[in-house]
Chains A and B, each alone.
Chain A
Amino acid sequence: DTGVSQDPRHKITKRGQNVTFRCDPISEHNRLYWYRQTLGQGPEFLTYFQNEAQLEKSRLLSDRFSAERPKGSFSTLEIQRTEQGDSAMYLCASSPQGYNEQFFGPGTRLTVL
């Protein structure tokens, strides 16, 4: 499968725990995006990378959220000290440079109890 993959697909955690999600973009796509989608809403932009450089992170929801893409390939999104309000679908997308279309992964659904 050559699409964007995300792992895990579902995550249930207790409030206060840390969680980490992984995104593997389409091979050789150098742009990678993270979005969050809450129930009944459209996705909202969190952050994006061009290769290993994080070019926009001001939209991350709080300092509990961080993202990395250390080798310019896969990326991780970490949420520390999770809160019930963090329950949402976390979506990853990738695109090749100079091409606007973004290709979305299946998402990771987080439930914080």
Chain B
Amino acid sequence: KNEVEQSPQNLTAQEGEFITINCSYSVGISALHWLQQHPGGGIVSLFMLSSGKKKHGRLIATINIQEKHSSLHITASHPRDSAVYICAVRPPDSGGGADGLTFGKGTHLIIQP
């Protein structure tokens, strides 16, 4: 079973700061997801990565497959970015076997005005 570790567990920053959240995993994967969860439970998919780097607005996600590590960056952070950010990995394609995601525990981010 893949072990997914996120750091930090909690992060409080001031508005405008550059934010980095890290994720490492123990076993090879077919894809890595970054998800955002707001109070109340709703989960939104931010990125799905299998290599390289993706950017969407102020969010940037990178992955290093060899090092089994990914980072999520938020530039010019804003209080509305306050949420739990979760890293999740998908196992290699097993042709119909266990296809569910394995999740980290999440990083609780608070951006203060």
Contacts and interface: CB of A to CB of B under 8 A. Distances in A.
Interface stretch (A13-21, A22-30, A39-47, A69-77): A39-47
A48 B100 contact: yes
B45 interface: yes
A56 B13 CA distance: 41
B105 A48 contact: no
A93 B90 CA distance: 14
Contacts of B42: 104, 106-107
Contacts of B103: 35, 42-44
B59 to A, nearest CB: 15
Nearest to A45: B100
Contacts of A41: 105-106
B45 A101 contact: yes
Contacts of B43: 43, 91, 93, 104, 107
The contact size tier of chain B is: 20 to 34
A45 B42 CA distance: 16
A103 B99 contact: no
Interface string A94-113: 00000011111011010000
A107 B99 CA distance: 20
Given A42-B86, A50-B96, A102 B101 contact: yes
Interface of A: 31, 33, 35, 37, 40-48, 50, 55-56, 58-59, 89, 91, 93, 100-104, 106-107, 109
23 contacts: A37-B41, A41-B105, A42-B4, A42-B104, A42-B106, A43-B88, A43-B101, A45-B98, A45-B100, A45-B101, A48-B100, A55-B99, A56-B97, A56-B98, A59-B98, A59-B100, A93-B43, A101-B33, A102-B45, A104-B43, A106-B41, A107-B42, A107-B43
